[in-house]
Chains A and B, each alone.
Chain A
Amino acid sequence: MSQLPRDVPASHYQSAAQRRLQRTRVDAPYRPGDPILRGLNLTKRFLMGTAPVYAVRQTTLEIKPGEFVLVVGPSGCGKTTLLNLLGGLDRPTFGEVVLEGQPYSKLDENGLARLRRNKVGFVFQFFNLLTDLTAEENVMLPMQLVGLSPAKTRARAAELLAAVGMAERAAHSPFELSGGEQQRIAVARALANSPTVVLADEPTGNLDRKSGTEIIGLFRRLNREFHQTFVVVSHDLSFTEHADRVVHMEDGQIVKVEAKTA
């Protein structure tokens, strides 16, 4: 585990629970029932000129299998950075991320790419569909990257499109789809390789209220039906009712965690 930055005393923002989590061995073998995703003591520091700016500061978070976690907070509080760190899109300045017992720090860039390909699904605010491909081809792309056969790829894409209610729009270009429909395609793409966890970054941020609610409802349905783990970042507190746990962030830190009791 990385050392703490000297200019930021850890005790300044660490809770007791987080300190306890820090002591967790990152190389402990993964056992069923353990948290599938752990972000340990994560710090992401950027330099603005010579001045350090902390997007995430010594934040520790664990995600359990099948959990629906909502990360909320005001703009610029570090939600997206945290999500990128958890998904292996970015590397922490300090700290460690462990997915199913696999510490990210042990992986090179291609290893991280492989991990994203096989175990992480991403849903972005702006959908990030490839506009040169049809809806179906977008969904097929992650499976093609892992080398799945064309027949299986096509069958799985059809299955996923049906699951998100987009079977009728498979041949359409993203340009021909509404924002909500594009986001459904993005969700289907995120689920393509049956990832361990789906990370969604402001998935409703570019949608109207109704479409946003439908997308969160879709997440919840997939979460319940397929036991799919979701970590959703949003600034919209109205979605908290759907989450198993709500993580509140401010200024790069987790300031409150609300767990919904069953």
Chain B
Amino acid sequence: MLRLAWRNVSRDWNRSVLAISGMALAAFVLTSALALSNTYHAGALARYRFALGGDIVALPGHFFVDRALYGGASGGEGGGARGSVAGGAPAGAADWTLRRWDPTWQGNLGQFVPGIGEKGYLAPANDPDVFRLDTLQASAGAFGKAGVAGIYPYLSLPAFTETAGKTYPTPLRARQAGFDAVWVRQDEVGVNANAVTPGIRLVTGRWLEPSDEGRMVALVSANRPAGAGPAPAPDTTVTVSVPAVTVGADGRPVFDYGRRQEFRLQIVGLYNVTLDVVRENEGEGGTGSAPVPWETGDIMIPSKTFETLYSLVSGGAAPEIAGQLGLVVKDMNQMNRTLKALSQAFPDWTFLPAPQLAGMMQRQAGGAIPANLSGTFVLVSFLLAGALAAGNMYVVIYQRSKQIGILRSIGASSRQVFGMVLVEVVGYSLAGGLVGWVLVLALYSLIVLTSGAGLAAVGAKAGSTLVVVMGTTLAVAAAFGLAPAWFAAGQPAARVLRHD
């Protein structure tokens, strides 16, 4: 019977090609939808990981405007009324206010990158328009070029890669996917006032409190410029000048650059790290993220912040010896635990996992096929393809009524006829699924490769895609092949032969 089934499949290639094409089309649609969805998500995730540097983004719950860098009511190039470095001088704290994030502005969320997830955003107090953040301008502004205020660069803390229980220090540039780190958004609250180590920046996720004075950790940039002067050393005391901040009548912070506070800070630890700052776009019309070395000097963060972050994320106490800072998140469970712990330890911060950011970006970008839509698309496609296969089999059975009648007359049981027809349907479906899979793999590879995920991702997905496609086509074959097979098996021999 198997041989007969094969002969039936092979004797009319037009019919077989039609049936196989139907299943291939369905398989193609299915796999395409899956691949597009997965790849988009994976691609978005990869981009975010690259841009954000890890799986968790730590964002301060509020932030402040350093108008010395970005402010200026008189306006300037590039940012127009929003000012620029060139326009530089602060004209008054009231020029900038902090607006809370309005959920009705979801449509602008994509433009808010990398400020995505922020609790608020910045806008000039006297600006009646909605202040739309432009990532290109924002990042340009962050690097001292013409641009708008509001987005500070993110500080990348290098991660360790954990593989098979071993931990390897991993520089940021090598990280593409599969690495986990905590990204801390840099809030530059002050610049070292001492001339000993010019360019040292004070970074914190919150405003400085008097209790912070005296204990800081210096992150010494491994790529610090040669002429940057001596690196900070333990027990060095530096003075950091920060603008005074008061709370306005509306509860918003007001910065007064005319009055500065000086913090005397003692460096209690040194960590040599490769510091990078990621900006969203490289140049005007840029197409991707690119890490930019932080060349402006070394960074200090409050030791308490550092130690808490380190111990929470790495699971151990901060090392005594200066070394590379490793913030490791091994898996999603640890990520979730870390997120929770970090949120409790730093209630003023926002910690976001990169997958969540990718999902938000995917939704906001609107370029991805929504899951429910793609699911419906796939379902309808498979129903159509299955109906095509079933209809085709009905035609085949009608054409082959004589053969079925002969088989029945010489004693083939209904089960044997049923099996023969089902084998044909399954054969068509498997062949169709295989063809569809090959076609879609080519498309999938194209998408994956253009998304920058690399060949390994193609290989990793090929197997699972094949399983999904073949499994689904088999299920469709079984579902839609049963009816014609049952119909064929129930044909009374005498009636079929008489009809013939």
**Interface, chain A (partner B; CB < 8 A):** 84, 87, 89-90, 109-110, 113-118, 120, 122, 124, 126, 128-130, 132-133, 137, 141-142, 144-146, 189, 193
Contacts and interface: CB of A to CB of B under 8 A. Distances in A.
A113 B7 contact: no
Given A84-B494, A110-B414, A113-B414, A89 B4 contact: no
Contacts of A117: 410-413
B8 A132 contact: yes
Contact of A145 (B8, B402, B405, B411): B411
B411 A114 contact: yes
Interface string B463-500: 00000000000000000000000000000111001001
Interface residues of B, number: 25
B413 A122 contact: no
B11 A113 contact: no
Given A89-B493, A145-B416, A122 B7 contact: no
A114 B413 contact: yes
A142 B410 contact: yes
Which one of B11, B409, B497 has the greatest number of beta carbons of chain A within 10 Å?
Answer: B409
A186 B232 CA distance: 102
B497 A132 contact: no
**B-side interface mostly:** helix
Given A128-B402, A132-B4, A113 B494 contact: no
8 contacts: A87-B409, A90-B494, A113-B412, A122-B410, A130-B4, A132-B8, A133-B3, A145-B413
B408 interface: yes
A130 B408 contact: no
Given A110-B414, A113-B411, 19 more contacts: A87-B409, A89-B409, A90-B494, A109-B492, A116-B410, A117-B410, A117-B412, A128-B406, A130-B4, A130-B406, A130-B407, A132-B11, A133-B4, A133-B7, A137-B3, A141-B407, A142-B410, A145-B413, A146-B411
B403 interface: yes
A113 B4 contact: no
Contacts of A89: 408-409, 492-494, 497
Interface of B: 1, 3-4, 7-8, 11, 402-403, 405-416, 492-494, 497, 500
Contacts of B500: 126
Contacts of A141: 4, 407, 410
B497 A124 contact: yes
A93 to B, nearest CB: 13
Contacts of B492: 89-90, 109
Given A89-B493, A124-B497, A116 B411 contact: yes
A148 to B, nearest CB: 13
B412 to A, nearest CB: 6
Contacts of A84: 494
Contacts of B411: 113-118, 120, 142, 145-146, 193
A209 B131 CA distance: 101
Which one of A113, A117, A118, A193 has the greatest number of beta carbons of chain B within 10 Å?
Answer: A113
A129 B402 CA distance: 10
Contacts of B402: 128
A144 B420 CA distance: 13
Which one of B405, B411, B492 has the greatest number of beta carbons of chain A within 10 Å?
Answer: B411
B406 A116 contact: no
Nearest to A115: B411
A110 B411 CA distance: 9
A120 B410 CA distance: 8
Contacts of A189: 410
Which are the 3 A-B pairs with shortest beta-carbon distances?
A117-B411, A90-B494, A132-B7
Nearest to A122: B409
Contacts of A118: 411
A130 B403 contact: yes
Nearest to B8: A132
Contacts of B493: 89, 116
Nearest to B417: A113
A35 to B, nearest CB: 22
A7 B12 CA distance: 50
Nearest to B415: A110
Nearest to A129: B406
A114 to B, nearest CB: 7
Nearest to A141: B410
Contact of A116 (B7, B11, B409): B409
Which one of A84, A130, A133, A137 has the greatest number of beta carbons of chain B within 10 Å?
Answer: A130
A173 B474 CA distance: 34
Contacts of A120: 411
A137 B3 CA distance: 10
A130 B406 CA distance: 8
